[in-house]
Structure 1
């Protein structure tokens, strides 16, 4: 996960859990984001490879760039088909004009747009695609919103008087395009995935505000969420429920005349 600063690196503390429970990217989103005849794509802030694994199935050359060594270790083990590099959005160890596309999944908010956008333009070929996507639980569905509220309240209770009740809030702006890129195009879609009680608890525990908690508090929240899922959703053992998801995608192309 993540690009700039140390906050994003905290995800490496739970790399295995992150790898196991984070959802993949719906195929419709990739179809829209990837340009025709894409030969090389960069997965920037690749984390443990939820997006990377989808990309290796449809693009010949996949380069995964990730700053956290613990995330890279997991990604290398689960997706050896990708070229894995240590780097950030602000500094990628790649030559100019390297890729036909560069995608960022769930990590744009960790990056410094002033430095990341020119660097992204540098590694893309003229006319190359820059895509950003956010893949979240669909909070417009009432039962999903109630689960989210319950979980956030549990994190506040368990954080203690001196602990981080929530991850730092931030206003996330869409990537600026300026003279380097064309105007942004947008796609919104909904999808769902079957999940067990264990998978719901695991997924909720990969939120930034959960990772900000000490391990003991995380475990206590997991137990409370497990109880809620059992009592309110009626899930136990291997029974599954369809979890509604919402995906927002943005796409732009590098202007052929622009010099990063």
Structure 2
């Protein structure tokens, strides 16, 4: 039986497993352990993860910016969008598997292994530092200090997350089944170091067209699934299959709109 079946009429939905404060306070050892989930599977990640709305990039990238560094770049999904803005872009990513995908798809990008805390890049070399779906994988104080070292005067640090739009009831339930742990509370503010002014935020709602099979593949790209054992993975797949096909009535191979909410923050470097 699915573990997220119908609840009592009028019952308050259980909260989605969200991104807790401890994601930004865990020690480096624990962070590395969790991040190992992404050491492999770059091609799968690249095939199923969404890009970001143009309006989010309008918000995140200063109009005068020339040079950008995308940290935690993964397979280059957001990196490619920065390139599309005419920026010179460098990419930093700790997973060699993801770097291989990024280098194959974006050979013009100088993509190097590294972390947000230690990029290995030259000081004062960027106008904007971006983190797409990645700030919760770093120590925010150390990563802020490194970003301030990389940025030129008046530079900007910009953070963005795509998350399922759990204000939609059926998506809220889907997020629970998927264990979509990067869903923020509305009042969430990412922690930054003292090098930056208080961040400004923006949000945008949109839909991605996916087949039910692609939604299941999306769940398989998430850290919860990647770290899980065989029994837990089988349960997640079973529950998703029941929910998408039996409960919601989607047809195999037929795309439908999956609602997303994109939340971004930008913070200027202090003088």
TM-score of Structure 1 vs Structure 2, range by shorter chain: 0.7 to 0.9
Q: State which of 163, 176, 192 in structure 2 corresponds to 1:149.
A: 176
Q: TM-score, normalised by structure 1?
A: 0.84
The alpha carbon displacement at 1:128 in A equals 0.8
Check if 1:53 corresponds to 2:80.
yes
* Higher RCO structure, 1 or 2 (CA under 8 Å, sep 6+): 2
For 2:104 and 2:33, the matched residues in 1 are separated by: 24
- In structure 2, the partner of 1:99 is 126
- Aligned residue among 221, 236, 242 for 2:251: 236
Q: Counterparts of 2:244 and 2:86 in 1: how far apart (Å)?
A: 38
Unaligned stretches of 5+ residues in structure 1 = 156-165
Aligned residue for 2:192?
176
1:160 aligned partner: none
* TM-fit CA distance, 1:108: 1.0
Tell me the equivalent position of 1:161: none
User: What are the equivalent positions in structure 2 for 1:200-215 lying under 5 Å apart?
Assistant: 200-214=215-229
Tell me, yes or no, if the aligned pair for 1:134 and 1:247 is still in contact at 8 Å.
Answer: yes
**Aligned counterpart for 1:137 among listed residues 146, 159, 164:** 164
Change (3 A) 1:219 1:76: farther
Structure 1 residue ranges, 4+ long, deviating more than 6 angstroms after superposition: none
C-alpha contact (below 8 Å) 1:41/1:59 kept by paired residues: no
Question: 1: distance between equivalents of 2:233 and 2:101?
Answer: 21
SS at 1:193 equivalent: strand
What is aligned with 2:142?
115
Alpha-carbon spacing, 1:80–1:227, altered in 2? closer, same or farther (3 Å): farther
Alpha-carbon contact 1:41-1:61 (below 8 Å) kept: yes
SS of the aligned residue for 1:100 comes to: strand
What are structure 2's unaligned runs of at least 5 residues?
1-27, 183-187
